[in-house]
């Protein structure tokens, strides 16, 4: 339930995602015990029986959930979202969705709210565990001394947690099995440790309580900002290990063996499968934050749906193996393969065919096309930009344009600098505007291809032919994980120091602040024609950008350069509409479209005296 409460947005369960780690520990224990007991008792192990049992346990409810999700995705999703959903569905069916989501984006990114199959990454990790561990364990049990398996588990677990700790800030450490292996290993080692329980059973009582406290602590104390899994996952995982080890405690064990706990345990798999799609599709349809009533309702609906799935899908297939007329192992395996193929075909089709764009109406299609027009077209020969270090061609063009039109205004920055260059150059009266803007590069970015030292030399050597220098960058890079406070003050200082070195040239230096960054790619937000709400646009503004802008305004008060806000003119707040005349003004989550560059550039120049003095005749 902690995962459900976390996903639905209850603040007290900021670390509810650790429920997945609890599950990994339990899975490692149960699977290892099952394999070891069969090998010890029979001297052999039936892989066909094992994988048939796993398929009966996991496949029916998963297949039902995936089919249901596909129907709702076709009815509600924009072509871009359906295309992405098709890729996720295909990878889920192949048990590699963890790779898909790792390569796409992070688990905690904002658009994750609209990925109904995001939670299947953990199922893929588990299925990959099922593919490898039984083979390794059987080999160890049959061909090596008795303690080889637990010793290798211990060593492998230590290596795994070390890797997870070392790469704690990398997305792949969250999604990929090697960095989660120690969680399974903790459960697996318990198969051997549990034989050494103390003779005094009262010793087990506090162990259960300590284990529950560790899980509860992680659930309420962890958050998006907690490096994970890293070594932090050891807290809930070791807590789960204590519970498994001491779960037979007479008194405290009742906390886990009462009817409510057992009932939740029975439906837990179906609940995990169904709750996130319910949340994702509802949020996509609503396009807003969930109220408390909605959060509670989603929890209730999820529990009821899970109970029905358990009663009518999970249990019949799990118990049907021994029933008269039940499918044989081969028959059940063939049926699973055919059903998987039936779903793979439409999944691949939506993924390969741009999300079936025929589903949306003309207005929505026109809206989508507008977001693809990234840069405004500049026809003037002396309004030009490069996305690399200044080279001989740039110097030659600069000199020729100086001869033709006089000094230039130089725009320097990252990809947001490209937005600003296009918008100012298009709306400027002066004929000579040059830009050196390299995506992904800021003064505090130490990459060989970045351009700031070369740009500074260019400014100093050409200062007689430059009217002024304008700098801007993506504001999100001053924020934690690009989205949230606190502000990275050291990075602000780094930019400021760079601009102060330009001030020494004697030229006007202007720092144009961050632009409004939306959290959702506009090209993914025109709904399917089947949506009752029609073609709509949703976004969630990064409020932290406004806090950053306010800080930079104050910060630059005593600096030798000038700070200009994009979010405020000299007299008022600035509105940045996302749609104008049925055209998107943003091309993605934080860059302007060509339409936006035309509109917002005019807005900037007209609202800021400093920019007007530099760019207008």
Contact 551, 545 (CB under 8 A): no
| pLDDT at res. 527 | 56
- 496/555 Cα distance (integer angstroms): 10
- What percent of the chain is modeled with pLDDT above 90? 56
Stronger pLDDT, 539 or 371, i.e. the higher one: 371
pLDDT digits (tens, 9 = 90+) for 183-231: 999 999 999 999 888 878 788 889 989 999 999 999 999 987 788 898 9
What pLDDT band is residue 362 in, cutting at 50, 70 and 90? confident
| Strand-strand pairing, 479-480 and 408-413 | unpaired
**Contact by Cβ (8 Å): 236, 218:** yes
> For residue 480, what is the enclosing H or E element?
strand 479-480
**370-615, which class in CATH?**
alpha beta
Distance set, CA 117 to CA 68, 113, 302 (Å): 11, 10, 15
pLDDT digits (tens, 9 = 90+) for 348-357: 999 999 888 8
The phi and psi torsions of 231 (rounded to 5 degrees) equal -85, -10
Instruction: Specify the DSSP element, H or E, that contains 34.
Output: helix 19-42
Shortest CA distance to 28 belongs to which of 183, 226, 245, 252?
A: 183
Position 534 pLDDT exceeds 80: no
Q: Which residues contact residue 105 at a Cβ distance below 8 angstroms, ignoring those fewer than 6 apart?
A: 111, 112, 171
User: How far is Cα 587 from Cα 178, in angstroms, rounded to an integer?
Assistant: 37
**pLDDT value, residue 215:** 93
Asked if 270 contacts 309 with a C-beta cutoff of 8 angstroms, the reply is yes
pLDDT tens digits for 7-38? 888 888 888 889 999 999 999 999 999 999 99
How does pLDDT run across 403-448, given as a tens digit for each residue?
999 999 999 999 999 999 999 999 999 999 999 999 989 998 777 8
Q: Domain segments of the chain: what residues?
A: 2-358, 370-615
Q: How far apart are CA 158 and CA 144, in angstroms?
A: 21
- CA distances for 438 relative to 91, 172, 413, 547, angstroms: 34, 27, 7, 26
């Amino acid at each position: 339930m902690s995962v459900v409460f976390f996903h639905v947005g209850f603040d007290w369960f900021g670390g509810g995602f650790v429920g997945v780690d609890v599950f990994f520990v339990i899975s490692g224990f149960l699977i290892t015990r099952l394999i070891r007991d069969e090998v010890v008792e029979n001297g052999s192990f039936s892989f066909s029986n094992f994988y048939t049992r796993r398929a009966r346990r996991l496949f029916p409810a998963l297949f039902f959930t995936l089919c249901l999700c596909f129907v709702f995705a076709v009815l509600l999703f924009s072509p871009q979202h359906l295309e992405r959903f098709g890729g996720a569905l295909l990878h889920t069916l192949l048990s590699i969705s963890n790779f898909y989501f790792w390569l796409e984006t992070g688990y905690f990114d904002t658009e994750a709210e609209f990925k109904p199959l995001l939670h299947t990454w953990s199922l893929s990790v588990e299925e990959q565990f099922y593919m490898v561990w039984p083979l390794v364990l059987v080999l160890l049990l049959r061909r090596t001394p008795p303690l080889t398996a637990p010793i290798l588990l211990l060593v492998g677990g230590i290596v795994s947690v070390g890797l997870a700790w070392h790469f704690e800030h990398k997305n792949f450490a969250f999604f990929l099995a090697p960095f989660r292996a120690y969680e399974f290993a903790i459960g697996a080692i318990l198969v051997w440790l549990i034989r050494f329980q103390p003779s005094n059973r009262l010793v087990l009582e506090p162990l259960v309580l300590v284990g529950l406290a560790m899980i509860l602590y992680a659930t309420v104390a962890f958050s998006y900002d907690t490096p994970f899994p890293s070594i932090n996952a050891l807290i809930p995982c070791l807590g789960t290990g204590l519970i498994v080890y001491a779960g037979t405690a007479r008194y405290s064990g009742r906390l886990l063996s009462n009817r409510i706990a057992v009932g939740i345990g029975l439906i837990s798999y179906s609940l995990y499968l169904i709750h996130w799609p319910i949340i994702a599709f509802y949020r996509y349809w609503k396009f807003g934050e969930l109220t408390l009533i909605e959060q509670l309702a989603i929890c209730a609906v999820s529990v009821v749906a899970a109970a029905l799935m358990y009663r009518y899908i999970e249990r019949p297939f799990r118990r049907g193996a021994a029933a008269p007329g039940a499918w044989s192992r081969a028959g059940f395996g063939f049926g699973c393969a055919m059903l998987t193929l039936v779903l793979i075909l439409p999944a691949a089709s939506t993924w390969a065919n741009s999300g079936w764009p025929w589903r949306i109406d003309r207005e929505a299609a026109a809206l989508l096309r507008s977001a693809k027009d990234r840069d405004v077209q500049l026809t003037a020969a002396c309004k030009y930009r490069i996305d690399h270090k200044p080279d001989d061609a740039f110097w030659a063009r600069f000199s020729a344009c100086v001869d033709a039109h006089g000094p230039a205004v130089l725009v320097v920055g990252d990809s947001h600098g490209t937005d600003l260059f296009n918008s100012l150059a298009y709306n400027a009266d002066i004929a000579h505007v040059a830009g050196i803007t390299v995506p992904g590069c800021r003064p505090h970015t130490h990459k060989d291809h970045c351009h700031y030292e070369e740009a500074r030399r260019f400014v100093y050597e050409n200062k007689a032919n430059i009217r002024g220098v304008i700098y801007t960058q993506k504001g999100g890079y001053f924020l934690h994980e690009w989205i949230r406070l606190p502000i990275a003050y050291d990075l602000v200082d780094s930019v400021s120091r760079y601009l102060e070195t330009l001030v020494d040239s004697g030229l006007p230096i202007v720092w144009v602040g961050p632009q409004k960054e939306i959290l959702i790619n506009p090209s993914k937000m025109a709904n399917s024609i089947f949506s009752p709400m029609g073609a709509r646009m949703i976004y969630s503004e990064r409020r932290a950008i406004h806090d950053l802008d306010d800080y930079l305004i104050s910060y630059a008060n005593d600096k030798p350069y000038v700070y200009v806000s994009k979010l405020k003119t000299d007299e008022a707040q600035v509105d940045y509409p996302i749609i104008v005349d049925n055209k998107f003004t943003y091309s993605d989550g934080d860059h302007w479209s060509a339409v936006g560059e035309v509109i917002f550039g005019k807005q900037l120049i007209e609202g800021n005296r400093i920019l007007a003095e530099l760019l207008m005749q």
